[in-house]
C-alpha cells in the first residue's frame, strides 16, 4: 500500500505543478484529513506560491483554528484566519430546509473564496473533495457543499478554477496518503466532519445560539467516545423541545441526539455499540454542563436507510 501511496503522491504533485506553472494557488483547511492532505500535496507542488486559509464560517468545531495551525507547524505552512462568521449567519438566517441551507452555505463559501483569490491574485483553489462527496451529490442524496462541476455549476462563475487531487479516493485511501505525507496521527485518523459543519447538525434554522449549543455538545460527545474509535461521533440539536426538570422547576428545553457510527467509507454505516455506562455518563454530562438541554437520546439507525448526518 505504502508504495502505491508514494506513487500517487508523486503523480499528483507533478500534475499540480504542471497545471499551475508559476501561478498562485489558495487552499482552505477545515481541520479534517481531506483538506490537510490536499493542502500538503499542493504545498509540495508549488511551495510558497500556495496561501492557506482557515475560514471561520461560525460552524466549525471548538478550538478548530488552533488545531489546524498545530497540524501544519511541521511543514512551516502559515494559516491565515478569515473571520466570516457574520456573513455566514446572515446568509443562513431564516432558512430551515436542509438543501436550502446547504445551497446558501455553498454560495457564501465560494463567494468568500472568489474574493480571496482576487485579493491574493491567485488562479486556483485546491480542495479536498473525495469520491464519496461526488458520488452522493451526483446520486442526488444531498448537495455536498464542495461539489460544483459535477452538478453543472461552473466554478468560473465564482471566479475560481478548482484543483481536486483526492477526488478519485475514498476516505481510507486518503488516510493512507495523509500518513505517507507525514501528517500527524490525530489528523490522519480524525473523524470526518462535513464541509457545512455544524450548520447541518442543527435541525431547522442555524442561528448563532443554536450552533453554540451543538458545538458544546459535540465537544463532550467527541471527548467521551474517542476511545471507542468510532468512524464518526457527534451531537445533533433537534428542532423540537421537550419537558424536563431543572433546579426543581419544570423546564421546556432542548433535545440532543448523539450519533456515533462505525463505517469504512461512509457509504454504509452501523451504530456504534456504546456501553450503557458511557451513554449514561454522556446524558448526565450534557444535561448538567448545558442548562439549555433537558433530554439526550442515542440514535440506533444504520445507513441506509438513514444517512450519517441528519440533514
Ligand atoms: P451522509 O450524511 O450522507 O454522509 O451519510 C456521508 C459522509 O459525508 C459527510 N458529509 C459531508 N462532507 N460536505 C462534506 O465535505 C458535505 O456537505 C457533507 N455532508 C455529509 C458526512 O459527515 C459523512 O462522513
CA distances from 187 to 175, 181, 241 (A): 9, 11, 36
Does the fold of domain 201-298 match that of domain 5-188? no
Domain ranges of the chain: 5-188, 201-298
pLDDT digits (tens, 9 = 90+) for 136-186: 766 666 666 666 666 666 777 777 889 999 999 988 999 999 999 999 999
Report how far residue 245's alpha carbon sits from residue 14's, in angstroms, rounded to the nearest whole number: 61
Distance in Å, CA 309 to ligand 1 centroid = 7
Ligand 1 atom nearest the C-alpha of 303 is: 5
> What is the per-residue pLDDT across 89-124, written as a single tens digit (0 to 9) for each?
999 999 999 999 999 999 999 899 889 989 999 999
Q: What is the CA radius of gyration of the chain?
A: 20
33 in ligand 1 pocket by Cβ < 6 Å?
Answer: no
Residue 306 CA to ligand 1 centre (angstroms): 12
Query: Is residue 274 within 8 Å of 227, Cβ to Cβ?
Result: no
In ligand 1, which atom is closest to the CA atom of 141? 3
Report pLDDT for 287. Answer: 97
Cα separation, 117 vs 207, in Å, equals 28
Q: Give, as one character, the DSSP assignment of residue 303.
A: B
Spell out the alpha helix ranges (H) of the chain: 2-20, 33-46, 64-71, 85-92, 98-120, 131-138, 171-180, 185-188, 208-225, 276-289
- Give the fold, CATH level 3, of 5-188: Rossmann fold (3.40.50)
Tell me, using a 6 A CB cutoff, whether residue 232 lines ligand 1.
yes
The domain 201-298 having CATH identifier 3.30.300.10: the answer here is: yes
DSSP structure string for 37-67:
HHHHHHHHHHGGGEEEEEEE-S-SPTTHHHH
Closest residue by CA, ligand 1 atom 17: 144
CA of 28 relative to ligand 1 center, distance in Å: 17
CA-136 nearest atom, ligand 1: 3
pLDDT (0 to 100) of residue 146: 66
Distance 286 CA to ligand 1 centre (A): 25
Q: Residue 264's pLDDT is what?
A: 87
Mean pLDDT by 10 residues, the chain (311 residues): 82 97 94 95 97 96 95 93 97 97 93 90 93 75 64 73 93 95 95 92 98 98 97 97 94 97 92 98 98 97 97 94
Q: Which ligand 1 atom lies nearest to the CA of residue 263?
A: 24
Ligand 1 atom 12: residue of nearest CA: 194
Residue with the smallest CA separation from ligand 1 atom 6 is: 266
Amino acid at each position: 500500500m505504502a508504495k502505491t501511496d508514494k506513487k500517487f503522491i508523486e503523480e499528483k504533485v507533478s500534475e499540480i505543478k504542471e497545471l499551475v506553472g508559476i501561478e498562485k494557488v489558495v487552499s482552505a483547511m477545515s481541520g479534517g484529513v481531506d483538506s490537510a492532505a490536499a493542502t500538503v500535496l499542493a504545498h509540495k507542488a508549488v511551495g510558497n506560491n500556495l496561501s492557506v486559509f482557515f475560514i471561520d464560517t461560525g460552524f466549525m468545531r471548538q478550538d478548530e483554528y488552533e488545531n489546524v495551525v498545530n497540524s501544519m507547524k511541521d511543514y512551516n505552512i502559515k494559516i491565515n484566519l478569515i473571520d466570516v462568521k457574520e456573513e455566514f449567519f446572515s446568509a443562513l438566517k431564516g432558512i430551515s430546509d436542509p438543501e436550502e441551507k446547504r445551497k446558501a452555505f455553498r454560495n457564501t463559501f465560494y463567494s468568500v473564496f472568489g474574493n480571496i483569490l482576487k485579493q491574493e491574485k491567485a488562479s486556483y483553489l485546491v480542495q479536498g473533495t473525495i469520491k464519496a462527496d461526488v458520488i452522493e451529490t451526483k446520486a442526488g442524496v444531498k448537495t455536498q457543499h464542495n461539489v460544483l462541476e459535477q452538478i453543472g455549476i461552473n466554478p468560473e462563475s465564482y471566479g475560481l478554477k478548482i484543483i481536486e487531487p483526492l477526488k478519485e479516493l475514498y476516505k481510507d485511501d486518503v488516510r493512507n496518503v495523509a500518513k505517507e505525507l507525514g501528517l500527524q496521527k490525530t489528523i490522519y485518523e480524525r473523524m470526518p466532519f462535513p464541509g457545512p459543519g455544524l450548520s447541518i447538525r442543527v435541525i431547522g434554522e442555524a442561528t448563532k445560539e443554536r450552533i453554540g449549543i451543538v458545538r458544546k455538545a459535540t465537544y463532550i460527545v467527541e471527548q467521551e467516545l474517542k476511545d471507542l474509535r468510532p468512524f464518526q461521533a457527534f451531537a445533533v440539536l433537534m428542532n423540537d423541545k421537550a419537558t424536563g426538570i431543572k433546579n426543581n422547576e419544570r423546564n421546556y428545553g432542548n433535545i440532543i441526539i448523539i450519533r456515533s457510527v462505525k463505517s469504512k467509507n461512509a457509504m454504509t454505516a452501523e451504530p456504534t455499540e456504546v456501553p450503557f455506562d458511557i451513554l449514561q455518563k454522556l446524558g448526565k454530562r450534557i444535561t448538567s454542563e448545558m442548562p439549555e438541554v433537558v433530554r439526550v437520546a442515542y440514535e440506533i439507525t444504520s445507513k441506509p436507510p438513514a444517512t450519517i448526518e441528519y440533514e
